[in-house]
Amino acid sequence: MIFFKVFVFENIPSSGQSPNDTWRKNVLDSDIYIGLIGSEYGTILDTGLSPTETEYDLFNEKSNEVFIFIKDSVKRDGKIEKFIAKISDNHIYKPFGTIEVLIKEIKKSLTHFLHNQIVENDFDKRIIDYSSSKDIDMDSYNLFFKSVNNNSLKQLKEEKTPEEMLTIINAGSMKNNIFHFNNAGALFFAKNINKFNIPHEIKMAKFKNGTRADIIDRKNSYNTLIDLMEDVRLFFSRNTKTSSVVVGMDRIDLNEYPFEVVREAIVNAVAHRDYKINSSPITFYIYDNRIEITSPGKLIPPLTIATLESANPLHRNKIICDIFSKTGYMEHYGTGISRMKKTMLEEGLKEPKFEEMGEFFKVTLWARDENTIDPELYKNNRNPLDKLGLNERQIKAFALMVNENKTFTINNYLNCFEISRVTASKDLNKLESLNLINKVKNGRSYIYYVK
């Protein structure tokens, strides 16, 4: 069995291709970079760097799977010393004196890589040894705990360090007093997920008709998982429309799709994807009459399309699901498919379609047809906001925003309804998470409004 295909520039045959284009492409296409450093720096390119250092920089922007081996030497070129200092800031390198030692160290590194990539099944709990607290993105950390439903967990955040909190929620662990992410934690909280070679892109596009021939809007998101949810919400908002239904003397505006169903589908795609498939992103495609969300990874046996609702839930990435379940994005652990169907039917829409396509899982949501909206669905529930689980304060506040163009901050909301700051924040954030209102930064606080 061949585990690795080695690219060595000196071994390629003569051709009409550009040498620079050839080695750059192969560097970027590789999963691992092995660098051998001697005592001389080598030829200097137009960039001011040697080909080896240029290769290192190019690959290091894409991935952290860099294995460097440095030959023992009494005297080294000054540029080599600077290059080694740069490497030591980012990677652990191994010295060698003989070819036999070099081969032994390379085998050891490749064996460790294979174990992590193939042998170890629990992707999300795998510890990233070269991560540390320096890799924590505090904006993502604070945004996550802002979306957490458990007040005790929020209170604990005020008493513990970020390293302690991330360990408590199983986003990493401490080893020799140093915090290390696991893969799940890196997806939620890392400054640079690319550094850890974890596939996390979501590709969004809006097409003019029923095919992919004409793209109206596009966005690729590489953010942490909670920030990614906001990217999806904004893309959805600007690329879908609102319909209306008249009940008696009232006009009720209805989104083309219930956003809570879209959000559930995206959360499922992110939480249940197969992260070992690193060649394809999650896709979120909006057409004139449907949304298609495709995620790498088939259903886990014995799950089938027919048993999605009835079978006990199986989770490919248990830690990712568990971290998500602490937030408002995945409030009902394991019941997402049933709730998606129920919500679509209650809104007078077709059930979602679930299907496996090769190594991918696909969800199709059908748009609301404004020409076939049935007012009977809304006669006994003249305020569709009731179905979203909103309280009287939220419904009243939303009505003021729509009818009187009123805006709210946390302070004037809590004064208006005589409630605590925590409750005011929870109320407004729920409205915003349902895509009913928007918020914009204003100094150290936010203003909540309806477009």
Contact 23, 61 (CB under 8 A): no
Strand duo 202-207 + 360-366: pairing: unpaired
- Mean pLDDT highest for which of 8-22, 118-132, 286-300, 329-343? 286-300
Specify the pLDDT at position 143. 92
| Nearest residue to 359 (alpha-carbon basis) of 255, 273, 284, 251 | 273
Contact 433, 267 (CB under 8 A): no
| Nearest residue to 264 (alpha-carbon basis) of 189, 205, 321 | 321
Better-scored residue on pLDDT, 377 or 44 = 44
Confidence of residue 135 (pLDDT cuts 50, 70, 90): very high
Specify the pLDDT at position 307. 85
Mean pLDDT of the chain: 85
Specify the pLDDT at position 442. 82
- Mean pLDDT highest for which of 11-25, 168-182, 428-442? 168-182
Instruction: Report, as an integer, the average pLDDT of 147-156.
Output: 87
Specify the pLDDT at position 382. 46
Contacts of 353 (CB under 8 A, 6+ apart): 363, 364, 366
Looking at the predicted structure, is the pLDDT value of residue 245 above 60?
A: no
pTM: 0.60
Specify the pLDDT at position 166. 97
Specify the pLDDT at position 91. 81
Specify the pLDDT at position 293. 97
Specify the pLDDT at position 247. 46
Instruction: Report, as an integer, the average pLDDT of 178-196.
Output: 96
Specify the pLDDT at position 236. 94
Query: Cα–Cα distance between 157 and 227 in angstroms, integer?
Result: 19
| Range list of H helices, 38-194 | 51-62, 78-90, 99-114, 138-147, 151-157, 162-168, 183-189
Looking at the predicted structure, is the pLDDT value of residue 249 above 50?
A: no
Specify the pLDDT at position 120. 46
Looking at the predicted structure, is the pLDDT value of residue 123 above 80?
A: yes
Specify the pLDDT at position 391. 84
Looking at the predicted structure, is the pLDDT value of residue 32 above 90?
A: no
Query: Cα–Cα distance between 316 and 183 in angstroms, integer?
Result: 13
Better-scored residue on pLDDT, 361 or 23 = 361
Per cent of the chain over pLDDT 90 is 39
Instruction: Summarize pLDDT for 34-75 with one digit per residue, the tens.
Output: 989 988 888 888 878 888 888 888 887 767 688 999 999 878
Specify the pLDDT at position 1. 46
